[in-house]
Amino acid sequence: MKKIIFFLALLPAISHSQPQKNLTGFQDIPWGSTVSEIKKKFPQIKPRDICQTQKNKVDRDNVKRFYAQNDGNCIIWEQENYIIDGTDFLLQFSLNSSNKLKNVNIRKELSIAEAPNFEVQCTQAFEKIGKLLELKYGKGITPQNSNSWYASIGYLNTDVKIWSLGKTQITLTNSWNNKFLDYNFCTMNADYLPVQQPETSKL
């Protein structure tokens, strides 16, 4: 498969420009966009039914229930070989139950079976994306007690940085060594989510 080159759109156009503090979507694609609108910028994306990839009916039903409870959609639109500064990632667009853009995820996942130095590769990806995000949006914050939540779902090691940018929050994570699985693996995620705006007072 021919690799798709992504020319560092995260970088500011002018090196001395002030960090951007407001973000209303992902790369000029606003939250709530349709698939056809997303395809105008990412024509290579293809659908994948997350629910149908589960091996048995119980797992499929559980995943469907999870999406339904979170106003989600089993169909994830994704692009493989999404290249950022020489490193390939998986780009995923998730939709809500109305088939509108709900969140965007840039991820890299490796197991020890795929790469003996899987931890190093995920850490390098985490640092690379983190530096690009800092150039564009300024310093991210490292939340206190973030490792406690990840530890509760089995991860022994996790790095977290968060950017709050008006209508969008970016959460960058690097997690590895899950004690609940019989092999070692790591996952690096840059998760773009719309910030839930508080209801305005009617008084």
Neighbouring C-alpha atoms within 13 Å toward the C-beta of 76: 19
Domain count for the chain, please give it. 1
C-alpha 163, offset from chain centre = 13
- The answer to whether position 18 is within a domain reads no
- The answer to whether position 142 is within a domain reads yes
Residue 19 to residue 150: CA distance in whole angstroms: 29
| Percent of the chain residues past pLDDT 90, beyond the cut | 48
60-86 pLDDT, tens digit each = 888 888 888 888 899 999 999 999 989
C-alpha 103, offset from chain centre = 8
Query: Which residues are bridge partners to 173 per DSSP?
Result: 160, 189
Q: Which two tokens stand for residue 152?
A: 């509760």
142-166 pLDDT, tens digit each = 877 666 666 665 666 788 999 999 9
pTM above 0.75, yes or no: yes
- The answer to whether position 200 is within a domain reads no
- The answer to whether position 7 is within a domain reads no
- The answer to whether position 11 is within a domain reads no
- The answer to whether position 15 is within a domain reads no
- Please, are residues 143 and 172 in contact by the beta-carbon 8 Å criterion? no
Q: Which of 35-39, 181-185, 193-197 has maximum average pLDDT? A: 35-39
24-43 pLDDT, tens digit each = 999 999 999 999 999 999 99
- The answer to whether position 39 is within a domain reads yes
- The answer to whether position 64 is within a domain reads yes
pLDDT at 179: 62
Burial class (CB in 10 A: 0-12, 13-18, 19+), 140: middle
Print the domain residue range for 175: 30-194
